[in-house]
Amino acid sequence: DVQMTQSPSNLAASPGESVSINCKASKSISKYLAWYQQKPGKANKLLIYSGSTLQSGTPSRFSGSGSGTDFTLTIRNLEPEDFGLYYCQQHNEYPDTFGAGTKLELK
Amino acid sequence: EVQLVESGGGLVQPGRSLKLSCAASGFTFSNYGMAWVRQTPTKGLEWVASISTGGGNTYYRDSVKGRFTISRDNAKNTQYLQMDSLRSEDTATYYCARQSRSSHWFAYWGQGTLVTVSS
């Protein structure tokens, strides 16, 4: 199975700041990485797929980059609604595997 | 509006069975592969199983192979997860998710149903 190592586990930032979350695959997954946001009481939200393609409705302040084994989710000009949990998922091969998550908290 | 609504979770004893359902609406169900993903506080998100549009192809994580069966009824816009020989480590919130048409990222998720395996 492809192991996904996500970092950092926790991140504190203020509205208006920019943050980056990293995801490293144990082997090459080409461009096939997705990013999700999870918030209490809401369905998980797909933000980005295939490494850098924004899902319809994802604000442009979100961006994804990387290929092979190293990927980054960047959020610029943080808005209050951006605070929550973020997960990466490789969708290159079964079994699909997820990172352990990053909790983005308000500083 | 795409909606995925899970049902069927609950408390069950080890070794017993449970069947989850996921009712889909707001899209042409038969055009999309579907999946079940579970989540626990310790293991995080784990993909469990996926099924192709017509149901002819199914995929499982190793730890549930031979115990869980994913299926779908396109006439009822519903997918299922039959869980047999349940173990304590199957305790989790189970999410229904819709795959993309070209790959297996999950564009839509349900709110989840909690399965607790305990005596």
Give the model's pLDDT for residue B101.
Answer: 86
Which of B34, B45, B94 to probe the A interface (max A CBs under 10 A)? B45
pLDDT at B28: 97
Quick one: average pLDDT of B28-49?
96
A45-92 pLDDT tens trace: 999 999 999 999 999 999 999 999 999 999 999 999 999 999 999 999
Contact criterion met (CB < 8 Å) for B106 and A46: yes
Maximum Cα–Cα distance across chain B: 42
Question: What average pLDDT does range A4-18 have in this prediction?
Answer: 97
DSSP state of B53: T
- CA-based nearest distance A56→chain B, Å: 10
- Asked if B61 and B92 count as a contact pair (C-beta separation under 8 A), the reply is no
Facing residue for A46 by CB, picked from B50, B62, B105: B105
Give the per-residue pLDDT at A81: 95
**Which tokens hold the place of B115?**
């399965």
Q: What is the pLDDT of residue B104?
A: 85
pLDDT of residue B103: 84
Residue B103 touches chain A, beta carbons under 8 Å: yes
Task: Dump pLDDT digits (tens) for B74-113.
Answer: 999 999 999 999 999 999 999 999 999 888 899 999 999 9
Q: Average per-residue pLDDT in chain A? A: 97
H or E element at residue A12: strand A10-13
- CB A98, CB B95: distance < 8 Å: no
Angstrom distance (rounded) from CA B84 to CA A59: 42
Chain B residue with CA closest to A6: the answer is B44
Q: Do B47 and A95 touch (CB under 8 A)?
A: yes
pLDDT of residue A54: 98
Q: How is residue B105 written in tokens?
A: 């990222």
Q: What is the DSSP letter of B100?
A: P
Report the sign of the C-alpha dihedral through residues B8, B12, B55, A32, in that order: positive
- Per residue in A14-25, pLDDT tens? 999 999 999 999
Point out the residue among A91, A98, A101 whose CB comes nearest to the CB of B103. A91
Under 8 Å between Cβ of A98 and A89: yes
- For the stretch B10-31, pLDDT in tens is 999 999 999 999 999 999 999 9
Can you tell me the distance from the alpha carbon of B55 to that of B49, in angstroms, rounded to the nearest whole number?
12
Which pLDDT does position B58 carry in this prediction? 97
